Amino acid sequence: MDFGEKYDQGVYFHISGGSMADDYGKRDAFAILVNAAKKAYGEEIRPDEVQDAINYLKGFSTRDRPFEDYLKALGIPDPTRRVQSLYDALHRIKKGVS
């Protein structure tokens, strides 16, 4: 994946040093997950981007369960339950990322 290309209104997260780069990277990775949750009701989700965002954010968390729950939620057939489960997992991911 080219981490220099545009993602909606931000830039893909960067795997580079520095706390400011980490802050921008987290913001962009969260944008990918939020965008996927918004589209989960009826649109196609780009799984490679979601997986890359999750892998990046896992580096700032000590808990894996919310990330696993997010990925599992993508496979829930009922769109209403899928979206609710995605937002629930996203909330727990945000709480666990430092």
pLDDT tens string 58-86:
999 999 999 999 999 999 999 999 999 99
* Averaged pLDDT for residues 1-17: 48
Please indicate, yes or no, if residue 92 is contained in any of the structural domains.
yes
**Angstrom distances, CA of residue 85 to CA of 8, 60, 69, 98:** 23, 22, 8, 22
Please indicate, yes or no, if residue 30 is contained in any of the structural domains.
yes
Q: How much is the mean pLDDT over the chain?
A: 81
pLDDT of residue 2: 39
pTM: 0.78
Please indicate, yes or no, if residue 35 is contained in any of the structural domains.
yes
44-54 residue pLDDT tens: 677 888 999 99
Distance CA 46, CA 35 (A): 10
Query: Which residue range is the domain that position 57 belongs to?
Result: 6-96
User: Looking at the 3D structure of the chain, how many domains does it have?
Assistant: 1
Please indicate, yes or no, if residue 1 is contained in any of the structural domains.
no
